[in-house]
Amino acid sequence: MDFDDLTPKQKETLEFIIEYIKRNSVAPTYTEISKKQKITLKSVFQRIHQLKKKGYINIKKNVPRAITLTEKCRLIKPTESIEIKVFSKVYKFKNTFKLDNLEKTIFLSTQLLSEKEVCEDKIFGIQCNDENTFSELGIGKSTTSIILVEKTKNISEGCCVVCLYESRVVIGTLRVRDKFKILEMNSQEVPIGGSNALLIGKLRSIIKVF
């Protein structure tokens, strides 16, 4: 990777951040950078400040793992990664669904997905919050989780799918005759369509961000 305007130390830290995001789909903490590169937190802050000043990263306020890559870094994204948009709101719109509140863009290694061939424009993320947590998946209020969903019509019986139900995002198993088994509700079956559950797509993965 060519970063002509960076010092060797700044370049080393930026490459670590990029590789960390590539492997984990979230940014490292300052403490993780400090331990991995064996430098003080003061040095980490100085390098992060310069990387932000030179336009390689942004820092979100009042959130954990606040480092995000800018377009300057996305031009050099790894070929084995795909770019996924993460939204915090999904709602019914007529007979389909709409995504709103773009939270972030993440790079996800294709190795984390079950299939080698992935259509990038059909996969998106939904960032969970306190209103749509999943107790049966061990996701609580102290955890932010990203649900990766694939928009596809190729969904057969037994597939794990993501649906909208009563203004909540829920996960379940597709049943015969277009039935949807909601895991949160004591295995109750709820029909898909009409005023019931709306099928969003196939569940690809769940990323927990602490």
> What does pLDDT average to over the chain?
77
Burial class (CB in 10 A: 0-12, 13-18, 19+), 5: exposed
For the chain, which domains are there? Answer: 8-74 (1.10.10.10), 81-209 (2.10.109.10)
Token pair 């960390």 in the structure block, residue = 20
**In the beta sheet, which residues pair with residue 69?**
57
Alpha-helical regions (H) of 25-163: 30-37, 41-53, 71-74
Single pTM value for the model: 0.57
Residue range 89-106, pLDDT digits in tens? 888 887 788 888 887 777
What is the Cα–Cα distance from 153 to 64, expressed in whole angstroms?
36
Residue 62 has pLDDT above 70, yes or no: yes
